Amino acid sequence: MNHRTRGSDPLVRFFRPLSAVQAEYQYLRKVGDEWVVLREWSTDNGFVYVPENGEHGHFELSVSARKVGSDVEYDRYRKFTVLY
């Protein structure tokens, strides 16, 4: 999935909850070959990402979701690329 945004607009994402289950979300960005955590697990499904230091270009982002209180790595995840 590709998304576009104007150069100064933050990237805002909202994800639907995992069915009727109370879920928590973790947001990541791929830097080189590694995934860097942008926000640790939270029940807030909204997230605003603004690239640092005036960076522009394509960014590979990911959101992981799991049931609240679970210790699994994730139940579901979604990766997407944005052009900023």
Q: What is the CATH number of the domain that holds 19?
A: 2.60.40
Range of the domain at 79: 2-83
Q: What is the pLDDT along the chain (84 residues), one digit of tens a residue?
A: 434 444 445 555 555 655 677 889 999 999 999 999 999 999 988 888 888 888 888 999 999 999 999 999 999 999 988 888
What's CA 8's distance to the chain center, in Å? 19
**Total tally of structural domains belonging to the chain:** 1
The answer to whether the Cα torsion of 43, 41, 47, 2 is positive or negative is: negative
Residues 6+ apart with CB under 8 A from 7: 56, 84
**In terms of Cα–Cα distance, which of 81, 83, 84 is closest to 8?**
84
